[in-house]
Chain A
């Protein structure tokens, strides 16, 4: 489609007098992958919610799939939202519905996606098979583990074949093995269905995986596209947020070589080294 899929122009938002997003500018084109890195409270979730107008910006303009959604009414937004897949932080599954009904929810409730029940059942099955949970149709979310709930969330986000998928901290609180599975599914979705992807996370590994892994048809799995130590060209942009501002935007290579103390924490997995009294750690960094 012509033009960007998602565009933020000078978007600001405050809660109770505190600025949570400060003049955000962002352009996401079709096929892009954006990795939003940031500490808790840096504004990642708010940015994703603004992207589908679940909350309203104070100032600025947001364009989604060619529509200016900044001031649209809730009823006008439903049609546009039907082309967006979203995975909420804890999965956001409905406790009162079983897994099949949870995944079928967007198909049954989005007017634009209305389909006969047998077609819905087939698509639900396909979407759950995609996340390897095709056997859990009749279970309830409370019967599944945290990782499985996220996978169901991914199935529900993508059952509609969205043009863009938003993932809010999909690996938060998961063990490394499950986190890897979740990221593989996100990469698989992006590669097989050409979905534009925005991923908010605080784990640099997630971003590194999205940037360097692809779907290999021959072995039918998600694998590294290039050898370790090199960078794949998979249209992945890293964005680092701090207190509502974008403090870095660039490629993985640029991120890894950044000297900014806040930004480099996400790559190093630790706070920047403290400067000793002798000052023998090189140039002093100001925080």
Chain B
């Protein structure tokens, strides 16, 4: 039993060590600005279309589902409130995080994994650069900066999706929908809605980097690392989501 637990505990310890070193290095020179900007482009701009699309559909589906329940109480005029709270607090951050985990944690793990198995990481160290500084820190900064922005866009597009259904299917006026959607949002919701993606981003990028950097066993190993990165970062998204939600619920 103890032997069975040894490997995951060891991995978690290695992850914490890498995470601590990476976070500590964020402010240390040299800072590779070019790499940071390239990663922002790939992670942020590259993910924008899919994030917007999923955001829109989640808003549409939420509104359609809620309309029936609200109609039972004759409260369809409150559609905006329900949609906006669930999107800003929960759906926007979590769906965006799952997309980033699927798209970027896998991308990071496979890129770093390929570099590892072709000895490019060793070459980097041999030629005078710290892979943590050159590879991990730019991905960490780029994801932590871009993911809250992507989430904000997903939230906005989700609300627009909700608006379309509220006006065309439920029969609300646009004004009615917007005012109920915006009025209900308190500062707590906004902070929660932006805090979550920031923490998710740190975890997703570090998990991707961690599995990439510990890849071994050739191309098969790269595939395995990629799968693990997506699965583990997705699970962590839900675990952290529960923790942050609980913290904010107990604050109010």
Contact = CB atoms under 8 A, between A and B. Distances in A.
B119 A84 contact: no
Nearest to B118: A90
A106 B130 contact: no
Given A74-B130, A75-B130, A54 B125 contact: yes
Interface string A73-110: 01100100110101011101111000000000110011
A256 to B, nearest CB: 33
A90 B119 contact: yes
Interface string A145-170: 00000000000100000000000000
Contact of A52 (B124, B126, B130): B126
Nearest to B134: A109
A88 B119 contact: yes
A interface: dominant SS: mixed
Nearest to A74: B130
A49 B122 CA distance: 9
B120 A95 contact: yes
A106 B127 contact: yes
Interface in B107-146: 114-115, 118-120, 122-130
A71 interface: no
A111 interface: yes
Contact of B128 (A92, A93, A110): A110
Contact of A88 (B123, B128, B130): B123
A82 B126 CA distance: 8
Interface in A1-46: none
A82 B125 contact: no
- Give chain B's interface residue range (CB within 8 Å of chain A): 10 to 19
A81 B118 contact: no
A81 B119 contact: no
Contacts of A92: 118-120, 122-123
Chain B binding site: helix, strand, loop or mixed by DSSP? Answer: helix
A111 B125 CA distance: 13
B169 to A, nearest CB: 48
A92 B125 CA distance: 11
B126 A54 contact: yes
A92 B126 CA distance: 11
B119 A94 contact: no
B123 A94 contact: yes
Nearest to B129: A109
A28 B211 CA distance: 37
Contacts of A52: 126
Contacts of A93: 120, 123
A200 to B, nearest CB: 13
A88 B127 contact: no
B14 to A, nearest CB: 15
A9 to B, nearest CB: 22
A93 B130 CA distance: 16
B2 to A, nearest CB: 17
A86 B127 CA distance: 9
Nearest to A166: B126
Contacts of A94: 115, 120, 123-124
A214 B96 CA distance: 62
Contacts of B125: 54, 74, 81
Contacts of A110: 127-128
Contacts of B115: 94-95
Contacts of A111: 128
B128 A109 contact: yes
Contacts of B130: 74-75
Contacts of B114: 95
A18 B238 CA distance: 39
Contacts of A74: 125, 130
Nearest to A110: B128
B126 A81 contact: yes
A89 B119 contact: yes
A109 B127 contact: yes
The 4 closest A-B pairs by CB, nearest first: A92-B123, A110-B128, A109-B128, A88-B119
14 contacts: A54-B122, A54-B125, A82-B128, A86-B123, A88-B119, A88-B123, A92-B120, A93-B120, A95-B115, A95-B120, A106-B127, A109-B127, A109-B129, A110-B128
Interface of B: 114-115, 118-120, 122-130
Given A94-B120, A94-B123, 12 more contacts: A54-B122, A54-B125, A74-B125, A81-B126, A82-B128, A86-B126, A88-B119, A92-B120, A93-B120, A94-B124, A95-B115, A95-B120
